[in-house]
Structure 1
Amino acid sequence: MLDELLGRASLRDRIDELEDENERLRKRYEAESDRRAEATTARQDAEERINRLEDRIAQLEGELERVDETESGPSVRHRDQLRGARLEAVFDRLTSFRTGPEGALTVGVDDDGITEPVRTELEPVLGERLALVDDDGPCLCCVDDAGLLAVTLEPPVVPDLDATWRDRFALEREWFLPTGRHAVALVRTDLFALGVYEGDERVDYRGFESDVKGTHSKGGFSQARFERIRDGQIDDHLERCAEALAAYEPGGEATDTPLYLVGQRGIVDALAAEAGLEPTATAAVDATGDPGPALEDAVHSFWTTELRVL
């Protein structure tokens, strides 16, 4: 009764209403935060799968060509992934091929396909199979003028090779196989490994991991702050990687040593720009685990050539 006379009852009712509203807003905020955290985690997980999916897409495209036999038009007769002793044997067989003067053509094909002058030379030999060469870039195409041998090769190093007619195919061993002194560097957002090799034997090594946040989880701090921290950690990691590669920068002690830079495609490109590098070749590879084993997997994957028999 006294509360009503003094007007306190209405105030207590208002306080109760505001407390209820505050509780509803708090629950709504927590639910929204959970949704944002889950969305961020899902996006980051998807980014980590991009490199694996790129390789899988290429594999499925090749399988589709073989499975869909009812499809009209030419198809690749044989496709193989070559590495190690098998790659060396096939390379030796191709380089031992001999024909008459200017009877063997070797030409590099980039992502844009073959040029019109090369198309004019190849079409009489390959006919409708010429479309297969256009679809396979970047690659090397080897064909003899009688059409007895026609293949494309996608080695680790695809040179910018103009149409070359000789009595043998113009293929260099270092495009396909580890030869002489060279370096292979693997870089991920949180890992770096550098191996120096003499042929296929590793003679020097350096590897490390950096503390880079993985995925955003509930609570702690906002998504925006998480992204800023992660980006800063990745920048610090790339700086460490650039320092480790300093010996292979232009003007360094090992200027003539070929450098092959592999790993996550976006990180590989960012490191090349960060360190001012012009690597001999780059490649996206899926190498997981600790630095040492990951580098071994990366080297195994990098020194692989896809052979297609037209």
Structure 2
Amino acid sequence: MLDQLLGRAELKDRIEELEEENRHLERRTEAEEERRSEAARKRQEAEAEVNRLEDKVEGLEERIDRLSGTDDVEVSFRGTEILRDDRRDEVLARLASVSTDAEGALTAMVRDDVPDAVRDVLGERSALVRRAAPCLVCVDDAGLIAAALAPPTPPAPFVEWGGGFRIDRSWFAPVDPTWVALVRSDRFALGVYDGETVTPVDDIESDVQASHSKGGFSQARFERRRDQQIDEHLQRAREALEAHLGSDASESGAGDGDPTPPADADVVVLGEGTVLGRFTDLADRTATVDATGEPADALRSAVRDFWAVRLSLL
């Protein structure tokens, strides 16, 4: 009764409420500390895992470097040479003349993956084959001969052991007269290549503006006019090529000395990469070459470059 009169009962209730609220806050503080402690522990675990994974990645990268380095480990070509004309024929004849026992000479046409047979016989030097690919590999079981040749017209991939190397001259030079055309944006030359000599047959030169002079036409108009000149030149070149391909020696009445190949002869178109697409339907093969000068000279230069053979000594 006295507590109620003096207001002490209300104060005691308030004290109890505050004490309970204090205990609640203490529990929340303890829970928050536990959460912070748990978060710190998880953060430490995550940092340790990151460090572990980074170490693992670094180790894997080092391993990859070592493994990829096997392709380039301490090996280099014994020598390289570009073979043309008589030198090309001489080297091919030497390789073709090699004679071993029934399974003493390995010949392999390699484009992408190095065959197991080549790896087995060359060991770590098979890395050189990958560098030289696409190439024709010639290796004998005694290790006396180990060479790779890059044929201008390579066959499908194969691997073959035999008593000699498999050398087909048609992979390196035409065995029959072949049409060869050089196409550039301002000139065209057509000839016949028999594997030794280029005989010019036709040529076209067009006046195509090379640069825009100040004044006069705008740059855009100049570009349109130049593109039109190139289109007209390429159309004339295409018509000339079609006209020659549509005739053979029998139709023209030519004699034995006429260079015109038969109607089914191969057609090779060489020249600027930007214009070759206009002739792919007429050609058996196309290739980009950098041949300049007068049409006949440029054609001979293009033939010389295309049928050059890279020799790599393994």
TM range (shorter): 0.5 to 0.7
1:212 corresponds to: 208
The verdict on how the C-alpha distance between 1:138 and 1:223 changes in structure 2, with shifts beyond 3 A counting, is: farther
2:151 corresponds to: 155
Residue 257 of structure 1 is aligned with which of 265, 278, 285? Answer: 265
Deviations 1:241-269 (A, max 9, x none): 221221576x875442122222222322x
Matched AA of 1:259 = V
d(CA) in 1 for partners of 2:99, 2:243: 42
Residue 167 of structure 2 is aligned with which of 166, 171, 193? Answer: 171
Give the secondary-structure state (helix, strand or coil) at the position aligned to 2:165: coil
Give the secondary-structure state (helix, strand or coil) at the position aligned to 1:73: coil
Structure of higher RCO (CA pairs closer than 8 Å, 6+ residues apart) = 1
The verdict on how the C-alpha distance between 1:141 and 1:282 changes in structure 2, with shifts beyond 3 A counting, is: farther
2:279 corresponds to: 272
2:298 corresponds to: 294
1:16 corresponds to: none
d(CA) in 2 for partners of 1:95, 1:224: 58
Structure 2 residue 310 is matched with structure 1 residue 306 = yes
d(CA) in 1 for partners of 2:85, 2:282: 28
Q: What is the deviation of 1:204?
A: 5.1
CA contact (8 A) 1:109 1:139 kept: yes
TM-score, with normalisation over the residues of structure 2?
A: 0.66
Matched AA of 1:184 = V
Matched AA of 1:143 = V
Is the radius of gyration larger for structure 1 or structure 2? 2
Q: Which runs of 5+ in 2 are unaligned?
A: 1-71, 249-261
Q: What is the deviation of 1:308?
A: 0.4
CA contact (8 A) 1:97 1:168 kept: yes
Matched AA of 1:227 = E
Matched AA of 1:146 = A
Matched AA of 2:301 = D
Q: What is the deviation of 1:218?
A: 2.1
CA contact (8 A) 1:248 1:259 kept: no
d(CA) in 2 for partners of 1:159, 1:255: 23
Number of equivalences: 230
Q: What is the deviation of 1:224?
A: 2.0
1:39 corresponds to: none
Q: What is the deviation of 1:79?
A: 0.5
1:225 corresponds to: 221
CA contact (8 A) 2:212 2:219 kept: yes
The verdict on how the C-alpha distance between 1:136 and 1:266 changes in structure 2, with shifts beyond 3 A counting, is: farther
Q: What is the deviation of 1:287?
A: 1.5
Alignment RMSD: 2.3
Q: What is the deviation of 1:283?
A: 2.9
CA contact (8 A) 2:183 2:271 kept: yes
Identity %: 47
